Structure 1
Amino acid sequence: MTRAWILPSLMVLCGVVAATGPVLRGEAGLAVAYALVFLVLAGVCSPLVFPRSVGEEEARRRSAADGRPVVYWRPGCTYCLRLRLRLGRRAHRLHWVNIWRDPAGAAAVRAVNDGDETVPTVFVAGRPHTNPDPRWVRELL
């Protein structure tokens, strides 16, 4: 769980370091701008941007019941972030599994990606699609 927050924490730390110089020079506006930019970056890189994750078993059960795709992801993955941002509000219609929090989810991803934890991996009707085009996933919804 803690490694999901390493990148956002580093972004906040970089923001503090970047804002320190302008503060010491008396440029408060520039310091605030730096701090805000890095806080936004930290927020985007955090798990808070993604819908609430469920376990792998629960996601498969829900998918079988409602037919919605299951997305396996991990924090800090730029491709996962790209998919999430391009889906917009529709992202909540999918079932999301954080492979760093769910060992069964990580095992499912490794099983279909030759032992690699390549994400995002989207299961549609039981068939895996590794790093699919966000437009295609959006059309499924």
Structure 2
Amino acid sequence: MTETIVVYGTAWCGGSRRAKRILETNSISYKWIDIDSDRDARDLVEKINNGFRSVPTILFPDGSKLVEPSDEELAKKLGVPPPASFF
């Protein structure tokens, strides 16, 4: 189990960037791991997700995880307001 939120993602993934933005906007500390540059992390993400490189994969201190969450799902898990929609 982790003591902080861990976000496994990639720089090119819009969902990974949105997750980082939600965490940072709400001053929530987290650890970012880019699976494109960390082979062990990539292998872990594949193991967690039954062989798929699903990003973001977010692990929480309570042992739960979110995989490719919507902004609303992540905000709800974090107990923060969801980001405003532009549409």
TM-score exceeds 0.5: yes
Mapped pair 1:75 → 2:75 = no
Check 1:105–1:85 CA distance in 2 against 1; reply closer, same or farther (3 A cut): same
State the partner residue of 2:85: none
Q: Is the 8 A contact 1:112 1:128 kept in 2?
A: no
Mapped pair 1:134 → 2:57 = no
SS in 2 for 1:95: strand
Q: Which protein has greater RCO, CA pairs closer than 8 Å, 6+ apart? A: 2
SS in 2 for 1:90: coil
Higher percent of residues as strand? 2
User: Whole-Å Cα distance in 2 between the matches of residues 136 and 68 of structure 1?
Assistant: 17
Instruction: Say what the alpha-carbon RMSD is for the aligned residues.
Output: 2.1
SS in 2 for 1:118: coil
Alignment of 1:53-132 (within 5 A): 63=2, 67-87=3-23, 88=25, 90-91=27-28, 93-125=29-61, 126-132=63-69
TM-score for both structures, normalised by structure 1: 0.46
User: Whole-Å Cα distance in 2 between the matches of residues 96 and 136 of structure 1?
Assistant: 20
Cα deviation code 1:94-119 (max 9, x no counterpart): 11111011101000100011211100
TM-score for both structures, normalised by structure 2: 0.71
Q: Is the 8 A contact 2:66 2:74 kept in 1?
A: no
Q: Which runs of 5+ in 2 are unaligned?
A: 81-87
Q: Give the C-alpha shift of residue 70 in structure 1.
A: 0.9
Which has the higher Rg, Structure 1 or Structure 2?
1
Q: Which runs of 5+ in 1 are unaligned?
A: 1-59
Q: Give the C-alpha shift of residue 131 in structure 1.
A: 1.9
Q: Give the C-alpha shift of residue 127 in structure 1.
A: 3.6
Question: Could you tell me the percent identity over the aligned residues?
Answer: 23
Q: Give the C-alpha shift of residue 122 in structure 1.
A: 0.8
